[in-house]
């Protein structure tokens, strides 16, 4: 639960405001429609209120998820505008699902200068400090347990 709360803190306040406004407007609209509909007005009161208050919740969660995709893509150094538009306009929330499947790993901080660096960089682009083990030949990031570089085939020391 603590991790979820940490992740929800990155959602911008604008996204929360849009979600609350969409929920309230859609709930009022559904209340008006269900009160005037002959078939739905005959439903038991509890069922009608669950319908009126539950359906707009889907729209509110969708708005918060779009805000999360925007903030998380920005935090990971990805193309946040593109991912936000995909999350908004690809139907059936497939854009949001695609984002969670294809998102980049979190950026790491350089131990020397503190700048955020994309995952997998062998050296900091700001100060040149080593971020990971590097191949002595091609200078690409390598796993310290490898005997040979996967990029150039050089033997590791």
What gap in Å lies between CA 24 and CA 22, rounded to an integer? 6
Q: Which pLDDT tens digit goes with each residue over 105-121?
A: 888 888 788 888 887 77
Mean pLDDT computed over every residue of the chain: 90
Domain ranges of the chain: 2-104, 106-157
| Digitized pLDDT (tens) for each residue of the chain, 157 residues in all | 899 999 999 999 999 999 999 999 999 999 998 888 888 888 898 998 999 999 999 999 999 999 999 999 999 989 999 999 999 999 999 999 999 999 988 888 887 888 888 877 778 888 888 877 888 888 888 888 888 888 888 888 7
State residue 40's pLDDT score. Answer: 84
User: How many CB atoms are closer than 10 A to CB 152?
Assistant: 13
Q: Rounded to whole angstroms, how far apart are CA atoms 108 and 38?
A: 59
Question: Given this model, what pLDDT does residue 130 score?
Answer: 80
Residue environment code for 49-62, b if the CB has 16+ CB neighbours within 10 A, otherwise e = eeebeeebeebbeb
H-type alpha helices, 37-151: 45-75, 80-89, 94-102
- Model pLDDT, residue 124: 85
Helix axis angle, 94-102 relative to 80-89, nearest 10°?
140
Which pLDDT does position 61 carry in this prediction? 95
pTM score, whole prediction: 0.76
């Amino acid at each position: 639960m603590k991790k979820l709360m940490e992740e929800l803190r990155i959602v911008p306040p604008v996204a929360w405001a849009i979600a609350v406004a969409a929920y309230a407007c859609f709930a009022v609209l559904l209340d008006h429609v269900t009160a005037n509909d002959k078939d739905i007005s005959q439903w038991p009161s509890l069922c009608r209120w669950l319908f009126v208050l539950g359906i707009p919740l889907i729209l509110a969660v969708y708005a918060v998820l779009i805000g999360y995709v925007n903030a998380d893509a920005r935090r990971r150094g990805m193309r946040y505008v593109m991912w936000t538009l995909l999350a908004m306009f690809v139907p059936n929330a497939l854009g949001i699902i695609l984002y969670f499947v294809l998102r980049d790993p979190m950026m790491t901080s350089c131990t020397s200068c503190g700048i955020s660096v994309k995952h997998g960089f062998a050296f900091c682009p700001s100060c040149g400090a080593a971020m990971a083990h590097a191949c002595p030949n091609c200078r690409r990031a390598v796993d310290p347990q490898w005997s040979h570089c996967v990029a150039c085939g050089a033997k590791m020391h």
